[in-house]
Amino acid sequence: MLRLGSRTFAAHEPVIMAIVNRTPDSFYDQGATFRDEPALTRVEQAVAEGAAIIDVGGVKAGPGEEVSAAEEVRRTAGFIAEVRRRHPDVVISVDTWRHEVAEAACEAGADLLNDAWGGVDPLVAEVAARHGAGLVCTHAGGVQPRTRPHRVAYDDVMADILRVTLGLAERAAELGVRRDGILIDPGHDFGKNTRHSLEATRRLGEMTAAGWPVLVSLSNKDFVGETLDKPVKERLVGTLATTAVSAWLGAQVYRVHEVAETRQVLDMVTAIAGHRPPAVARRGLA
């Protein structure tokens, strides 16, 4: 069972985490939700389409203009407070690797710290423990935040993913982070080339068998683009195919740009797996 904020999710219940980028240079939307009004509209739409988690990020993952911790707080904390005011029951996540930002976000009402850079700042887990927040423990291949992998190699990429994420999860639990609020993430594209990310997807069952809920962040990523030779805006089909495979292998939380499409894929896979009934039943009954 997964418990985040006021929400509890059953073991086979897929959960959508909608991305809201509070950056002017996002790789996907080029700053479409940098200003408050469009960002709040994005939240309303995502919740209406079935997102249970809103993931707020103040710094894009890739290289670019330096963003200080103070500026990251300015972009995220006040916005989180407003989302909490408007949506008291939604789970709010902050995408950050910095403990200062994590602290400000929790004080503003965040329920989950999405540390996509693999615990590079070990104090983030302490913030989660102190505030009773959840924590995402991610494999990033040991690279520094906002850097791209260069000739990265693993003897066994899944073995390394498990070593790192399970170690981070157990450390978080020892620090006092609730065990039912800890997730592990293979970190597609982070410290990995495309073949590594494909293998991580293919072997995702090894992660889901480890006992922690698994989060996957697949949406429109470079490994999808390179696999299909498609630019960012043409990666939805590849993303949804990867989502379906990940769902079948047991991932629970999906960090996405396209909520409605993802919801349909997850509902279909969950129904095929026998964990949810069809929405309607007419065929063959008349």
pLDDT tens per residue across span 159-199? 999 999 999 999 999 999 999 999 999 999 999 999 999 99
pLDDT tens per residue across span 117-140? 999 999 999 999 999 999 999 999
- For residues 194 and 207, give the distance between their C-alpha atoms in angstroms, rounded to a whole number: 19
Q: What is the percent of the chain with per-residue pLDDT over 70, rounded to a whole number? A: 100
Domain ranges of the chain: 2-272
Q: What is the reported pLDDT for 182? A: 98
Could you give the residue numbers annotated as active site?
Answer: 221, 255
Q: What is the reported pLDDT for 180? A: 98
Is residue 69 classed as helix, strand or coil in its secondary structure?
Answer: helix
pTM: 0.96
Q: Hey, how many other C-beta atoms are within 10 angstroms of the C-beta on 82?
A: 16
- Closest Cα to residue 18, out of 187, 188, 256? 256
Q: Hey, how many other C-beta atoms are within 10 angstroms of the C-beta on 170?
A: 14
- With 0-12 / 13-18 / 19 or more C-beta atoms within 10 angstroms meaning exposed / middle / buried, residue 229 is exposed
Pick the CATH number of 2-272 from 3.10.620.30, 3.20.20.20, 3.20.20.30, 3.20.20.70: 3.20.20.20
